[in-house]
Structure 1
Amino acid sequence: MSTTDHVDVLIIGAGLSGIGAAHRLREISPTSTFTIMEAREAIGGTWDLFRYPGIRSDSDMYTLSYPFRPWTNKKSIADGSDIRQYIADTAVEDGVAPFIRFGHRVTKVSWSSDDARWTVTATTDGGETETTATFVYFCSGYYSYDTGYTPEFPGVEDFSGTVVHPQFWPEDLDYAGKRVVVIGSGATAVTLIPSMADDVEHITMLQRSPTFITSLPQEDPLVPITRKLLPAGLAHRITRFRNASLAVGFYEFCQRFPKLARKILLFRARRAVPETFDVDTHLNPSYNPWDQRLCIVPNGDLFTAIRKGQADIVTDHIERFTETGIQLTSGKHLDADIVVTATGLQLVTFGTAEIEVDGTVVDPHELYVYKGMMFSGVPNLAWCVGYTNASWTLRADLSSQYVARFVEHLRATGRRFGSPHPDGPGGDERPLLDLSSGYVQRVAELLPKQGTERPWAIRQNWWLDSWDYKKTDLDEAMVWDTAPAKV
């Protein structure tokens, strides 16, 4: 075990959130020292890990990109490789890249109130290291990079073809001319189907239940006009505000008028598919719009593949795998050479790192989230979690600005640390992620909780959060320690 230096802020994760957090820290608290620890050997996080065909954003890039660095690519719904390059370029041009320690997987963060600091343990190829930090900021997302979620499928060992999870896509997988079944109906599935459709013999999306799917233009038609008339930074900010407002506005519309929202989404779907396509069976979910995340298909590419007869959707349940495909409970058999299990992510808290406060291991489910990022009774620590109803970066950037302000506030006031009140909100509680999606419900009892009112509630509303983060009281429901640090 080697002990390295001390930093004011230790950022965990060199993906979209981590690079953005470093920028905000340097901007708002320029004298703070920091390090970014990244478990893998590359910048990009999600956008470096996932390499399946067609990997792309499921939000528009004018809100998913950073507000401080304009997105200049023509595509609003962008390819994963372009997003990865954008993040890497930002890290280099912003001067953040030299502060990244690659190959450092954080396994434990241990707080000492006496010392007013965290000790962060990380594993590397050369063994374990320890680094101390005044503040720890988890920007590692909320899913496991090491394991995806795959249900137990009876008879899968009998299947003579290839089974692939999108999170671990083989570089040498040849699917040309093959019969492919994609199990799932989320963002990954609706991306894979059209991306593979031109090369396979046929591809089928097999779903237990439908998902709301709608089309958006891959290129925003208003952006070229805005860019022509205005400076790049201003054009980016205007487009970002417009798109964020539309996303939040449509979400609020769905929450208040779910029946009308359903009619609109189904009307658009019926116009996009053949007349013979059974929309009510395959595209009409039992839940209301935005009770689960809405799936976006750029330029209606999924619907195009269905119209051409290259792809279809089957809504049924799996009885078992067979040697040549999948037997369904309806009696139908799907022949397949390749089965892709686009069955979801495995959610985790704090990147699976163990958190210890003054010798006591913290159970994440006993914690209440504070202002969407800090936690009851846990000093000087935050976890970056984006929106479920809009682009991740909209919330992530607000959280990073708050963290930087918090760190600067400690310095300005001479305080050593602060923690949200250990009792949390009291009264009613809700899950951290208010979605009915299976990947959320599977781990609801492992994630932290939220209350029903601010500052203990996560509001899925960028308008309100933007105002709150600019005007927020850093002392609200916060317990501060002002004792002098030990020498």
Structure 2
Amino acid sequence: MTDDPFYDVVIIGAGISGIGAAYRIRERNPQLRFVILERRERLGGTWDLFRYPGVRSDSDIYTLCFPWEPWTRPEMIVDGEHIWQYLADTARKHHLDEHIRFNTYVRSADWDSTTDTWTIRAEQNGPGDRQDKTYRCRFVFFGTGYYDYDNPYTPTFPGIENFTGEVVHPQHWPESLDCTGKRCVVIGSGATAVSLIPTLAQQAAHVTMLQRTPSYMISAPQVEPTAIAIRKLLPLRVAHWLVRWRNAIVGVLLWEVSRRAPEFMKRRLRRIAEYNLPEGYDIDTHFKPPYNPWDQRLCFLVDADLYKAISDGSVDVVTDHIDHMDATGIVLKSGRHLDADVIITATGLQLQALGGITVSLDGEKINPHDRFVYKRHMLEDVPNAAWCVGYTNASWTLGADLTARSVAKLLAYMNSHGYTHAYPHLGKTDMPEQPAFNLQSGYVLRALDVLPKSGTRRPWVVSHDFLRDVVDHRLRPIDDQMVFGRVPAAEAQPA
């Protein structure tokens, strides 16, 4: 086992969360030593993992990119390759890539309260070589996202073993897969399906979107003229700040209107469908969900691309249930048969907390589900640790940057007061619990027993209101319901 030197901060994950955390921590605490541990061969996280045709953001790039590194291209809705390139360029420009240790898979993190240090155990894979690595640090930042990178969610489909074509999940899209001239059936109608299908339709003979339940669709332009005009009139950083805040506020308002006036929002979304789909199209069957907008995440179309593909006949939508699969396709409960050469199971993700890493306090494993979340990023009674989770109703980066700034602020406070540990503590106060995520999507409901829980009052409630969270970040005292302390100097000194 190779022992690595002591770090002030270990950041796990080199995606949006990890890169953003590294920047904010260094910005406010330039004296701290940090390292970023990344299990993959490249940075980017989600934007390196997902490589299916059409992969793109499902929110605008001005709120998805970092507030400290403006987006310079004209697109507002951006494909995955350009997002990855932005992350790589940003990490290189700010010398954050120099701190990344690639191919390093973190297995466990154990807190020692006698020295106020974390011991991080990992495996590092090199060419023909695997080494066990140990990192020790004062603070650990889990920039691991919230879903399982290795195991997407795929339901059990009776008879799938009889299908003679190819079955793929978008999370593990094979580079060798060529859908040119083939009949493709995409199972699902969530964010992945609606970004995949229009691109797939350009090469496949035909694409069928098979869904059990419709999803709400909203369309956004790929290039937004107002944002372009603002960027021409103002300096880049000023324009970026203005457009980012405008879009963040619009996003919050969209969510609030959906919650407070769902019937109004249903009518607006239906009009978008009616305007872009052929006259007489059966919207009630295929695009009228039996729930309110934002009970599940809205799906974003780019320039109504899915509706246009349906209109030109390259895509059709089938709303039905699968009975079984046979050698040539899918048999539905209605008795209809969908012929297929390729079946794509865009059936969702599996969520997990803390990247699936085993976390222990003084040798005792914790269950994240037993802990309340504090200020959206710390866990009850877990010292010197943060887990970065973005918003489900807005761009991930809005929440990730707030978390990174909060952690940087906490580290500066601890350093200035000589504290070696800090953790949120609720005490014996009874507080009702509720799910941390407020969506009724299948991937959220399946994970209720593995994710941490939200309280019902701040700072223990997991808010989904970016604007209120910004105010909370600026005004709420940093020591609110926090416990700070220090170990004796001799014990705190790393060996």
Q: TM-score range by the shorter chain?
A: over 0.9
Structure 2 residue 366 is matched with structure 1 residue 337:
no
Aligned equivalents of 2:413 and 2:119: distance in 1?
22
Give the conservation status (yes or no) of the 8 Å contact 1:148–1:344: yes
The AA in structure 2 aligned to 1:103 is N
CA pair 191-424 structure 1, distance change in 2 beyond 3 A: farther
Q: CA deviation at 1:276?
A: 2.6
2:293 counterpart residue number: 289
Give the conservation status (yes or no) of the 8 Å contact 1:142–1:349: yes
Give the conservation status (yes or no) of the 8 Å contact 1:377–1:423: no
Q: Could you report, residue by residue, the CA deviation over 1:70-117 in whole angstroms, capped at 9, with x for unpaired residues?
A: 001111000100000000011000111110000111110000111101
1:371 counterpart residue number: 375
1:33 counterpart residue number: 33
Taking the TM superposition and a 5 Å limit, the aligned residue runs for 1:430-469 are: 430-469=434-473
Structure 2 residue 138 is matched with structure 1 residue 139:
no
Alignment equivalent of 2:175, drawn from 163, 171, 175: 171
Give the conservation status (yes or no) of the 8 Å contact 1:425–1:451: no
CA pair 429-79 structure 1, distance change in 2 beyond 3 A: same
Structure 2 residue 9 is matched with structure 1 residue 47:
no
1:396 counterpart residue number: 400
CA pair 309-403 structure 1, distance change in 2 beyond 3 A: same
Alignment equivalent of 2:227, drawn from 210, 223, 233: 223
2:157 counterpart residue number: 153
Aligned equivalents of 2:337 and 2:430: distance in 1?
52
SS in 1 for 2:196: helix
Taking the TM superposition and a 5 Å limit, the aligned residue runs for 1:300-449 are: 300-421=304-425, 423=427, 426-449=430-453
CA pair 52-14 structure 1, distance change in 2 beyond 3 A: same
Aligned equivalents of 2:281 and 2:115: distance in 1?
65
1:473 counterpart residue number: 477
CA pair 424-301 structure 1, distance change in 2 beyond 3 A: farther
Give the conservation status (yes or no) of the 8 Å contact 2:152–2:348: yes
1:115 counterpart residue number: 115
The AA in structure 2 aligned to 1:46 is T
Q: CA deviation at 1:334?
A: 0.5
Taking the TM superposition and a 5 Å limit, the aligned residue runs for 1:163-312 are: 163-312=167-316
The AA in structure 2 aligned to 1:234 is V
Aligned equivalents of 2:175 and 2:50: distance in 1?
11
1:124 counterpart residue number: 124
Q: CA deviation at 1:484?
A: 2.3
Give the conservation status (yes or no) of the 8 Å contact 2:116–2:487: no
SS in 1 for 2:151: strand
Aligned equivalents of 1:98 and 1:425: distance in 2?
45
Q: Size of the alignment, in residue pairs?
A: 487
Q: Could you report, residue by residue, the CA deviation over 1:329-353 in whole angstroms, capped at 9, with x for unpaired residues?
A: 0111100000000001111111110
Aligned equivalents of 1:252 and 1:424: distance in 2?
34
Give the conservation status (yes or no) of the 8 Å contact 1:37–1:100: yes
Q: Percent identity over the alignment?
A: 49
Give the conservation status (yes or no) of the 8 Å contact 2:188–2:346: yes
Aligned equivalents of 2:304 and 2:267: distance in 1?
18
Q: CA deviation at 1:193?
A: 1.0
SS in 1 for 2:458: coil
Q: CA deviation at 1:424?
A: 7.8
Give the conservation status (yes or no) of the 8 Å contact 2:426–2:481: no
Aligned equivalents of 2:346 and 2:427: distance in 1?
39
TM-score by length of 1: 0.99
Q: Could you report, residue by residue, the CA deviation over 1:380-417 in whole angstroms, capped at 9, with x for unpaired residues?
A: 10000000000000010010000011111110011111
Structure 2 residue 12 is matched with structure 1 residue 8:
no
Deviates more, 1:460-469 or 1:382-391: 460-469
CA pair 423-322 structure 1, distance change in 2 beyond 3 A: farther
SS in 2 for 1:148: coil
Aligned equivalents of 1:348 and 1:174: distance in 2?
32
Q: CA deviation at 1:3?
A: 1.3
SS in 2 for 1:236: helix
SS in 2 for 1:71: coil
Aligned equivalents of 1:223 and 1:434: distance in 2?
31
Give the conservation status (yes or no) of the 8 Å contact 1:376–1:424: no
Aligned equivalents of 1:147 and 1:9: distance in 2?
29
2:82 counterpart residue number: 82
SS in 1 for 2:4: strand
SS in 2 for 1:297: strand
Q: CA deviation at 1:254?
A: 0.7
Q: Could you report, residue by residue, the CA deviation over 1:6-50 in whole angstroms, capped at 9, with x for unpaired residues?
A: 111110000111111111011111111100000011011110111
2:101 counterpart residue number: 101
The AA in structure 2 aligned to 1:157 is E
Deviates more, 1:24-33 or 1:376-385: 24-33
CA pair 190-36 structure 1, distance change in 2 beyond 3 A: same
